[in-house]
Structure 1
Amino acid sequence: MIEVELKGYANDEIFERVRREFTLVRKEYHEDTYYQHPCRDFSKTDEALRIRLRRFNGHFEAFMTYKGPKLNEESKTREEIEVPLTDPDEHARILEKLGFLEVLTVHKVREKYYVEKGVVITLDEVEDLGKFIEIEALVEEGEEIEGKVKYLKSILERLGVREFERRSYLELILERAGHGEAGRTLRDS
């Protein structure tokens, strides 16, 4: 599957518009730990590997996610492969034994909203970064990506989004911390 995703900067006004207009699916707490490949520079290949811990309604889920290079100049559209984990600590240990290096953990509170079949908006409050809005849809490989990007962008613009962001939360946090190009080490969702 291809994840077509756009992200923009948000504020309280945009958050309130989404909360009034769309149906809340759930509120989640995420811990996304990113890893650097021992032999391949993800900053050059535009890839990402993470373990996500997700908590909601008293439940706990964990996933390992690989994200391929961006496929579109305007959005964060990319191939995504995600598998559930039963023991994320042991999976992290395996990665470390294989030479993968833990880069950083991104903490965020996420509210997921149903827009229409196949389209979801998330409101993210990211520790050390602030408020963002993301909209995403999954498409089959070969489907029209450009048309989907334009459609999703029009929804965000109608909600008041004026500034879009292609960099990942990881990149933004690393850049803010003064790591400059280190912020290009991995790419997030």
Structure 2
Amino acid sequence: MIEVELKGYADEKIFERVREKYKLLRREYHEDTYFQHPCRDFSKTDEALRIRVKRFNGHFEAFMTYKGPKLDRESKTRKEIEVELTDPDKYAEILERLGFVEVLTITKVREKYYVEKGVVIALDEVENIGKFIEIETLVEDQEKIEEAVEHLRAILEELGVKHFERRSYLELLMERSKNGDS
């Protein structure tokens, strides 16, 4: 499966429109720790490897996710491989012993909303960079990406999103720290 995802800059008005229009699934707290491959520069290959710890309703879930290069020019669509973890600290230790280097940990509060079958919106408040809205769905093959992007973009535009962002939160934070805006 291919995850088709669009992200836009948001403000409190956009957050309120989503809260009024769609059903809240749950509120989550995320810690995303990104790792750099010892022999391949993910910033050049447009890949990512992270361990995500989600906390919600007194529970926690953890996943290791590999994200391949973006597949189109407009969205954040990419092939993802995700594996559930029982002990994220041990997996991080394995990666570090294999030569992977921890790059950055991003923390955010995420509210997830059901839009329609197969489509979910996330309202993100990301530490040090602000508010964003993400919308995603899954498609089986690359031929369906363009149609899915158009549909998702229409939903976000209807909610008032005017500025879209293809860069990941990691890329935004790395650029910010490179420019001395930390």
* The two structures share one fold, judged by TM-score above 0.5: yes
Tell me the SS of whatever aligns to 1:91: helix
- Give the aligned length: 180
Distance 1:125 1:79 in 2: 25
TM-aligned CA deviation for residue 41 of structure 1: 1.1
Tell me the SS of whatever aligns to 2:31: strand
Q: Report what 2:57 is aligned to.
A: 57
Distance 2:67 2:175 in 1: 20
Deviations 1:24-73 (A, max 9, x none): 00000000000000011111211000000000000000000000000010
Q: How does 1:63-74 map to 2 (within 5 A)?
A: 63-74=63-74
Q: How does 1:97-116 map to 2 (within 5 A)?
A: 97-116=97-116
TM-aligned CA deviation for residue 178 of structure 1: 2.1
Distance 1:67 1:37 in 2: 13
Task: Read off the aligned partner of 1:56 and give its amino acid letter.
Answer: F
Distance 1:30 1:143 in 2: 32
Distance 1:16 1:176 in 2: 28
Distance 2:99 2:126 in 1: 28
Under a length normalisation based on structure 1, what TM-score does the superposition of the two structures give?
0.93
Q: Report what 2:175 is aligned to.
A: 175
Tell me the SS of whatever aligns to 2:178: coil
Q: How does 1:155-166 map to 2 (within 5 A)?
A: 155-166=155-166
Q: Report what 2:38 is aligned to.
A: 38
Q: Report what 2:48 is aligned to.
A: 48
Tell me the SS of whatever aligns to 1:152: helix
Task: Read off the aligned partner of 2:65 and give its amino acid letter.
Answer: T
Q: How does 1:1-189 map to 2 (within 5 A)?
A: 1-178=1-178
Distance 1:143 1:114 in 2: 25
Deviations 1:51-107 (A, max 9, x none): 000000000000000000000100000000100000100000000000000000000
Distance 2:143 2:84 in 1: 26
TM-aligned CA deviation for residue 19 of structure 1: 0.1
- The alignment-based identity, stated in percent, is 76
Tell me the SS of whatever aligns to 1:109: strand
Deviations 1:88-134 (A, max 9, x none): 00000000000000000000000000000000000000000010000
User: Which ranges in structure 1 are unaligned for 5 or more consecutive residues?
Assistant: 181-189
Under a length normalisation based on structure 2, what TM-score does the superposition of the two structures give?
0.97
